[in-house]
Amino acid sequence: MIDSQAERERRLKRMQRFATGLLVAMVVLFVAASLLRPQYPALGIVEAFAEAAMIGGLADWFAVTALFRHPLGLPIPHTAIVPTRKDEIGRALARFIRDHFMTRETVERRLERVNLAGRLGHWLAREDNARLLSRDAGIALDWLMRAVDSAELRNSLKTSLREALDQVPVNLALATLVDVLVAGNHTQTLIDQLVGFGREQLERNRWHIRLRIRERSPWWLPKFVDEEIYDQLVGEFERILNEVGEDPNHPARAEFNERLRALKRSLDVDAELIRKGQRLWDELVDHPAVHRYLQDIWERVRGYLHASFTAPDSALRLGIEQELRGIGEALGRDAETGDKLNRWLREVLVYFVENYRDPLSSIVSETIEQWDASATSERIELHIGRDLQFIRVNGTIVGGLVGVAIYVAWGALSL
């Protein structure tokens, strides 16, 4: 296979020189045979061969040259066909591809002979292919993440999210939250936190409680009575908090759960409670701190994904590679899954061809129309010109043989 353009050019020029040399040789042979024929009549057959070969070679030279340029630079009509009719050729080629290749019958007939799932599975099962695909997938996903991370898109997403949250029934969301708290016994942890908070506040405000009792008691009441009231009041608070905190089965805990259940029932029927819950929800969603928190989460997630997508040894990349190889091995083992995938791929490809055959074929014509006429002619000649030179060679030889046949036949008729 010839891949080098320079090599193609060398082979084309070599074949052009050979065909031209053969034509020149026929000219020389014709001249020589014509001059020597009076002395050597037998050279008539050589003269006939050379004459017909020369005519055949010239005709085929004209035909091959006329495809790509004007012969001898003369603007002869219907020459330089490729550069002058490039666009028409492109459109005709596009129609040919559309009508003969991109048809349901052609695609289905071809796909029936191809095990797409098997080939895909075999390809994915190879470690180097899975690693290459995971790398490309990581690069593509990283590019997509960076491409869509714009201020306009973030604002659009924020607006869409806000509209979606507005459609959430807040009472149902809160009722679900209550169910989760009660069913999972998470209220016990919440009560423990509240008890701890109560103890902390009681300890911090002992002096304020003592001062408030002293300020509100009558002036004539002895001070030791104020102290007794303080001790009794604070001690009772501490006892209640200690009992609730240390006894998992304390009635206060059960009552707390019952109050939550009652709140859930009220959320279904109490319009005022529902309105309050909606206002609280709106304040939460619109609060700047919530927005900053969500932005911070996104920045952290984006940084993690970028590092994972671009690092060859990241857990995400290795996980994708392992999953790809697993899919490939599964397709090779599971014939039923392979058959289902084959049917699905065939349906997708057939649908794609049926619905996009015109745009796909137009790519051919539009691409050719954008090419420079001279460059297009040179490009086509570079690829098929060598074979066309064989036409010149064959025309020269076949023309000569036909000339010999005519010479012999004419001689036989003259006898």
Decide if pLDDT at 153 tops 70. Answer: no
In this prediction, residue 2 carries a pLDDT of: 47
Q: What is the pLDDT of residues 97-149, one digit of tens each?
A: 888 888 888 888 888 888 888 888 888 888 888 889 889 988 888 888 777 66
* Helix, strand or coil, per DSSP, at residue 415: coil
Could you tell me the two tokens for 409? Answer: 């036949």
Could you tell me the two tokens for 350? Answer: 């057939």
List the end-to-end C-alpha distance of the chain, in Å, as a whole number.
55
Decide if pLDDT at 170 tops 80. Answer: no
Contact indicator for 66, 377 with CB cutoff of 8 Å: no
Round the average pLDDT of the chain to a whole number and report it: 83
As a whole number of angstroms, the distance between CA 69 and CA 237 comes to 107
- Residue 142: DSSP 8-state: H
One-character DSSP codes across 315-364: HHHHHHHHHHHHHHHHHHH-HHHHHHHHHHHHHHHHHHHHHHHHHHHHHH
In this prediction, residue 27 carries a pLDDT of: 94
- In the chain, % helix, strand, coil (3-state, to 5) comes to 85, 0, 15
As a whole number of angstroms, the distance between CA 354 and CA 19 comes to 46
- Domain borders along the chain are 5-84+372-414, 151-306
As a whole number of angstroms, the distance between CA 145 and CA 301 comes to 11
As a whole number of angstroms, the distance between CA 362 and CA 353 comes to 13
* Helix, strand or coil, per DSSP, at residue 151: helix
One-character DSSP codes across 74-136: ---TT-SHHHHSHHHHHHHHHHHHHHHTSSHHHHHHHHHT--HHHHHHHHHHSHHHHHHHHHH
Q: What is the pLDDT of residues 177-198, one digit of tens each?
A: 777 776 766 777 878 888 888 8
| Per-residue 3-state assignment (H helix, E strand, C coil) for 362-411 | HHHHHHHHHCCHHHHHHHHHHHHHHHHHHHHHHHHHHHHHHHHHHHHHHH
Could you tell me the two tokens for 291? Answer: 């927005």
How big is the CA angle at 38 (ends 35 and 43), to the nearest 5 degrees? 75
As a whole number of angstroms, the distance between CA 253 and CA 251 comes to 5
Q: Of the spans 16-30, 73-87, 112-126, which averages the highest pLDDT?
A: 16-30
Decide if pLDDT at 264 tops 90. Answer: no
Percent of the chain predicted with pLDDT > 70 = 92
Q: Of the candidates 134, 106, 108, which has an alpha carbon nearest to the alpha carbon of residue 342?
A: 108
Q: What is the pLDDT of residues 284-336, one digit of tens each?
A: 777 788 778 877 887 888 888 888 888 888 888 889 888 888 888 888 788 88
Q: What is the pLDDT of residues 194-233, one digit of tens each?
A: 888 888 888 888 778 777 777 777 666 667 666 777 777 7
Q: Is 312 exposed, middle or buried (0-12, 13-18, 19+ CB in 10 A)?
A: exposed
Contact indicator for 142, 346 with CB cutoff of 8 Å: no
Q: What is the pLDDT of residues 344-380, one digit of tens each?
A: 888 888 888 888 888 888 888 888 888 888 888 888 8
Least confident of 51-60, 195-204, 276-285: 276-285
In this prediction, residue 1 carries a pLDDT of: 42
In this prediction, residue 48 carries a pLDDT of: 93
Residues comprising the chain, all counted: 415
Kindly report the pTM of this predicted structure. Answer: 0.51
Could you tell me the two tokens for 142? Answer: 């990283």
Q: Of the candidates 120, 116, 114, 115, which has an alpha carbon nearest to the alpha carbon of residue 328?
A: 120
